[in-house]
Structure formats: structure tokens, C-alpha cells
């Protein structure tokens, strides 16, 4: 009787197992759909060859981009030792050698299999503009040594160039607005949207040899030399941008050093030392700078014990020059002063022309279509997995029953 029951149970299990196997087979044979794999990351390198120093910025973006423009993020930055490359006019090989430590660092960050396809650029600003005007042969020699050094690394070097002042201003404007999410931002639903044009902000930049002002004007630009047309994330922007050569900190020093014997630093750093970059009213800024500039050297050293002597020596002239440039040069007043935001970084990313340069260049780097795989729909995979698990359990039960039947037969025969 027990043996007959076991046989009946075994037959039922075999039938159920067959039915489940057939169902799982049907699920696997159902039409499959293409599934896109996540887009891989791409990398780009931009050297900012400024008048006072050179810095390398390492950027990354998804290869599929958004309306033709990459969503770029800063991975790392590296400041080269020594002065800007324009200072190596009499030692061109030194300009190239100064870039090697930063290139070595980049090779440690970028995956080896992607290094040869990593676009690499060097953009020189006002320092090299001036050197090219003074001695074009020496400028060419510096660029040749820089290109030679970068060419020794497994990257896709796309050349070194001197940026015009308007290009520097335009790319800086792109950087600021991209970081503030006024060009494009991710909505709560996960889609990319364009904020209204009213959210776009202007950008001011004080460099070593020039200063730039860039903004989106409310009226058409009459002077073509001060206009630039940009296309970013599928939208067009007609901006006003102008660069004032020789009004940067370093060149201003050269014009005034005979009488002042002092130096100047950029807008943010000039006012940051006196804690004036937090949106204080203009009256307080004026009073603070005036009090600092009339203090004795001994008092200044006591109040800023950790600041270098050179920076303290230059602080009065630097902050005064920055204030004069903003008020008398760019015509800010007590009311519009409150619209200025002094920043060295936005969301942890350096503010400068290099990010905007990389964003603009991604328009010319072809998008990559994400690789796809053929697979079942998620619901089919779940159902097939459950059926296969059930089949395994039933198989185990059948094996157990078989063993029990053999044991029972052996006992009866004894």
C-alpha cells in the first residue's frame, strides 16, 4: 500500500515537473527586446596656461550627452609648479617640463584603455597673448615644447592655442551658469530641462593680465566684436563679452609699481582676505578696506598672523584695485553691488574658463550610441526564475522518493 502511494506521488510529481519545464521553455522562447546598457564615461583634459601659473583640469561626461552637449563634471585639478608658460620665453624646454607632474597624475586617474582617446587641449590666455605680441618667435618655441611634452603621453592631443579675450570671457560665462544650473538642470522626474533665460547670470573675471565681463544682454548687440553666439544643450545664447587686456592684476602692477611698489590679486582673493565676499553692503566694504589700508604694518601682522608677508603687503592695493574696477570700470553702485557673488568654486568645482571650454568642445565630439543587449522582459525573467526554482525543488523531492522506494524494497526482500 505504501509503495503504491509513493509510485502515485512520484508520477504526479513527474507530470507537474514536465508542465513547469514546458512553461519555463515558453517564457524563454517569447520575443526578446533590446536593452540599452549604461553609457560609458569619457574623459577630457584642459590645461589653463594663465599668466601666473598653469593648471590641469580633468573632466568626465557620459558618452551619450544631452542634446549634443556633455554633462561635464570635474574629476580632479592639478596646479603645475612654477610660473605660467609665458615666463619660460628664454627657457622653452622648462615650460614643457613643468607640465609632466600633472600629466602623470592624469594618467593615474584615467583608465589605461581610454587614455588614447582622451581629448587634450591647452589654452593660453593673456600672458601668452602679450608674449606673442612682443616676440612671436619665442611664443612659438614655448608652444612647440609644450606640444612635444604632451605628445609623449598616450592622449589625443588636439593642440595648444592662445584664447582671445572674448573666448576666455565666453567660456567663463558658460562655466558659471552650468554650475549654477541656469543652462540645464535635472528635474524631479529625472529629465533634463532648460531654466528660463531670466535665471542666467553674468560673469566677471580678473586674471593676471586681463579682466573680462560677460552677460546675456536684454537688447541686440550692435558691436559684432563684443558678441558671441553659443549653442548649448540645444539652445542658442547670444552673449555680450569683452576683455580688457593689461587690466589684470599682473599688468596693473607693472603700470603702477614705479609709484606704488605693490601688487594686485584677483577679485575673489582680493576681498576674501578681508572677509568681504559674503554679500556685505558696499558701505561696509568701503569702510573695511579703508580701515585696513590705514592700519600700521605691525597691527596688520598681528591681525593676520598666518598670512604671508607678500600677500599682506599687496592686500591694500589689491582690494582697492578690485573695488575701483567694479565701481568705476564696470559701473556697479550701492544697489547693484548686492547682485555680485564672489566665488572661487561652485558646488566644489573651480570657476574658470576651462569647464566652459570643455563643455563647448563636447559639441564637436561625436556622441556614442549606448551598447545594447537582447534580453527578456523583467516580468518574464521573474516568472522563469520562479518556475525553475520550483522544478529544482520537485527534482529534489523525486530523488528523495526514489531513495525511499529503494529502501522500502530492500526491507521487504529481507
137 occurs within a structural domain: yes
- Chunk the chain into consecutive blocks of 10 residues (it has 414) and report each block's average pLDDT, rounded to whole numbers: 51 57 56 58 93 92 78 92 94 96 97 95 91 94 96 94 90 91 85 87 86 90 88 90 83 60 59 88 94 92 90 84 90 91 82 88 67 55 64 65 58 45
Q: Which domain-ending residue is among 140, 162, 184?
A: 162
pLDDT in the model for residue 392: 64
**Residue span of the structural domain in which 102 resides:** 37-162
SS3 per-residue string spanning 77-138: EEECCCCCHHHHCCCHHHHHHCCHHHHHHHHHHCCHHHHHHCEEEEEECHHHHHHHHHCHHH
Distance CA 210, CA 165 (A): 8
Is 281 among the domain residues? yes
Asked whether residue 310 is domain-assigned, the answer is yes
Q: Are residues 154 and 255 in the same domain?
A: no
Q: What is the pLDDT of residue 321?
A: 84
Asked, for residue 355, whether it belongs to a domain, the answer is: no
Return the CATH number at 137. Answer: 3.30.420.40
Tell me which of 66, 145, 167, 168 is the catalytic residue: 168
- CA 36 – CA 404 distance, rounded (Å): 50
Number of domains in the chain: 2
The DSSP annotation for 21-71 comes to HHHHHHHHTSPPEEEEPPPPEEEEEEEEE-SS-EEEEEEEEETT-BTTB--
29 located within any domain: no
Choose among 116, 197, 42, 123: nearest CA to 356: 123
Distance CA 216, CA 203 (A): 10
Distant-in-sequence, close-in-space partners of 315: CB < 8 Å, separation ≥ 6? 270, 273, 274, 292, 300, 307
Domain end residue (candidates: 303, 337, 371): 337
In a domain, 174, yes or no: no
Answer yes or no: 76 catalytic. no
The predicted structure's pLDDT at residue 187: 81
Does the residue 256 lie in any domain?
yes
Of the residues 106, 129, 162, which one is the last residue of a structural domain? 162
Amino acid at each position: 500500500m505504501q509503495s503504491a502511494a509513493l509510485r502515485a506521488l512520484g508520477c504526479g510529481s513527474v507530470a507537474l515537473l514536465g508542465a513547469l519545464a514546458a512553461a519555463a521553455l515558453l517564457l524563454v522562447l517569447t520575443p526578446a527586446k533590446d536593452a540599452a546598457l549604461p553609457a560609458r564615461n569619457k574623459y577630457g583634459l584642459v590645461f589653463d596656461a594663465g599668466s601666473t601659473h598653469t593648471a590641469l583640469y580633468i573632466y568626465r561626461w557620459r558618452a551619450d550627452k544631452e542634446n549634443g552637449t556633455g554633462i561635464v563634471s570635474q574629476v580632479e585639478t592639478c596646479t603645475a609648479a612654477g610660473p605660467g608658460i609665458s615666463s619660460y620665453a628664454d627657457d622653452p624646454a622648462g615650460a614643457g617640463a613643468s607640465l609632466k607632474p600633472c600629466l602623470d597624475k592624469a594618467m593615474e586617474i584615467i583608465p589605461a584603455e581610454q587614455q588614447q582617446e582622451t581629448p587634450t587641449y591647452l589654452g593660453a590666455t593673456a600672458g601668452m597673448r602679450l608674449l606673442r605680441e612682443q616676440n612671436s618667435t619665442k611664443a612659438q618655441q614655448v608652444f612647440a615644447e609644450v606640444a612635444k611634452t604632451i605628445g609623449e603621453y598616450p592622449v589625443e592631443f588636439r593642440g595648444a592655442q592662445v584664447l582671445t579675450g572674448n573666448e576666455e570671457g565666453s567660456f567663463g560665462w558658460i562655466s558659471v551658469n552650468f554650475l549654477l544650473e541656469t543652462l540645464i538642470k535635472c528635474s524631479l522626474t529625472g529629465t533634463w530641462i532648460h531654466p528660463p533665460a531670466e535665471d542666467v547670470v553674468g560673469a566677471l573675471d580678473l586674471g593676471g593680465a586681463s579682466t573680462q565681463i560677460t552677460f546675456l544682454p536684454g537688447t541686440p548687440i550692435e558691436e559684432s566684436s563684443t558678441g558671441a553666439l553659443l549653442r548649448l544643450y540645444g539652445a542658442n545664447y547670444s552673449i555680450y563679452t569683452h576683455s580688457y587686456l593689461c587690466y589684470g592684476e599682473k599688468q596693473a602692477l607693472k603700470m603702477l609699481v614705479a609709484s606704488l611698489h605693490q601688487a594686485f590679486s584677483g577679485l575673489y582673493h582680493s576681498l576674501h582676505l578681508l572677509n568681504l565676499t559674503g554679500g556685505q553692503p558696499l558701505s561696509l566694504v568701503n569702510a573695511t578696506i579703508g580701515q585696513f589700508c590705514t592700519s600700521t604694518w605691525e597691527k596688520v601682522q598681528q591681525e593676520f598672523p598666518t598670512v604671508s608677508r607678500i600677500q599682506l603687503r599687496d592686500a591694500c592695493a589689491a582690494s582697492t584695485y578690485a573695488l575701483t574696477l567694479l565701481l568705476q570700470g564696470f559701473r556697479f553702485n550701492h544697489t547693484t553691488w548686492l547682485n555680485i557673488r564672489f566665488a572661487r568654486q561652485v558646488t566644489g568645482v573651480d570657476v574658470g574658463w576651462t569647464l566652459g571650454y570643455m563643455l563647448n568642445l563636447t559639441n564637436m565630439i561625436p556622441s556614442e550610441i549606448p551598447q545594447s543587449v537582447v534580453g527578456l522582459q523583467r516580468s518574464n525573467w521573474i516568472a522563469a526564475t520562479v518556475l525553475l526554482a520550483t522544478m529544482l525543488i520537485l527534482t529534489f523531492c523525486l530523488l528523495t522518493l526514489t531513495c525511499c522506494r529503494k529502501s522500502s524494497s530492500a526491507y521487504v526482500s529481507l
